[in-house]
Amino acid sequence: MLNLCFLSPFFLFLVFNMVASTSIMEKNCKDIWSEDEVEESCQYEDLADPRPQPEYEIILKQCVGTEDLFLGLSGKNPSSMCCEFMQVKIQLPDTKSSDVVLDVKEKFLDLRTPKYKLGLHLPHPIHSQEGKAQFFSEREELEVTLLMKRPLDLINMQ
């Protein structure tokens, strides 16, 4: 039988931290650092590289249904807090898809080709393992669609 006097907010905080810390340690206990402890900063940028930066555009996208358009039942609004996806369109003239090297981290997008180099700090954290990249050779454009990590996803995405 559970004694209800132990269910204070502090107790729940301790239990949550204990469970969270053990789940992080269980991922790979041989790692020296977890991915959260390593800063994603200018370590990915190579300032001595003479290649130019290609033109790019960042677009935020929402999944909108008929209940959003006509009835407004879901509570979504046109603000960026209700966007689920970030799309980065990168213009790569005179580039083949086989020449593109793309590395996506939680807060950083690194693109390298023989002619161009792009080190882009993303405006919002993203799920680095869940994304899609598509190269359109007729437009000479790379479209990278990334699922955003939002702190209030459970509130804004219902």
Distance CA 65, CA 78 (A): 13
For residue 29, report the phi and psi dihedrals to the nearest 5 degrees: -70, -10
The number of CA neighbours under 13 Å toward the Cβ of 45 is: 11
For the chain, what are the domain ranges? 40-156
The DSSP call for residue 52 is P
Per-residue pLDDT of the chain (158 residues; tens, 9 = 90+): 445 555 555 555 555 555 455 444 556 677 777 766 766 555 556 677 788 999 999 999 988 778 777 777 777 777 777 788 999 999 999 999 999 999 999 999 999 999 999 999 999 899 988 899 999 999 999 999 999 987 766 555 55
Nearest in space to 126 (alpha carbons), one of 61, 77, 32 = 61
Q: Whole-prediction pTM value?
A: 0.67
Q: Which two tokens stand for residue 17?
A: 């931290």
Q: Which two tokens stand for residue 98?
A: 């086989």
Q: Alpha-carbon distance 97 to 58, whole Å?
A: 20
- CATH number, domain 40-156: 2.60.40.790
